[in-house]
Amino acid sequence: DVILTQSPLSLPVTLGQPASISCRSGQSPVSSDGHTYLNWFHQRPGQSPRRLIYKVSNRDSGVPDRFSGSGSGTDFTLKISRVEAEDVGIYYCMQGTHWPYTFGQGTKLEIK
């Protein structure tokens, strides 16, 4: 199985400040078709996860442009340029290249 390791696991951030979450993969999530199916999800309390970023760096429809994804090989990053109150919750990276799909442990973002 592909192990995804996120850091930090807890992320207190002041409103308006940037935030960054790292996701390291135990093996390359590059598919045989050349794509890297590394996604980022956000889950608010009591809600289902919502995908924010797909294939490393592509924002889903309706996702604010303050969110960006980057990375290659086995190191990936989610960045929020200026944190807003609605960004609180848990962020997960996920790889959909290899079965079983695997998720990182989750990073809890809270407002200081």
Partner 1 sequence: EAQLVESGGGLVQPGRSLRLSCVGSGLTFSNYAVHWVRQAPGKGLEWVSGIYWAGGGTGYADSVKGRFTMSRDKAKNSVYLQMNSLRPEDTALYYCGYDLTPGGLESWGQGTQVTVSS
Q: Which is nearer to partner 1, 7 or 103 (CB)?
A: 103
**Distance between CA atoms of 83 and 33, rounded to whole angstroms?**
35
51 within 8 A of 43, measured Cβ to Cβ: no
Shortest distance in whole angstroms from residue 72 CB to partner 1: 16
Residues of this chain that bind partner 1 (CB under 8 A): 31, 33, 35, 37, 39, 41, 43, 48-51, 54, 60, 90, 92, 94-97, 99-106
Q: Which is nearer to partner 1, 71 or 104 (CB)?
A: 104
Shortest distance in whole angstroms from residue 16 CB to partner 1: 28
The dihedral built from the CA positions of residue 77, 35, 32 and 91, taken in this order, carries a sign that is positive
**Distance between CA atoms of 5 and 47, rounded to whole angstroms?**
23
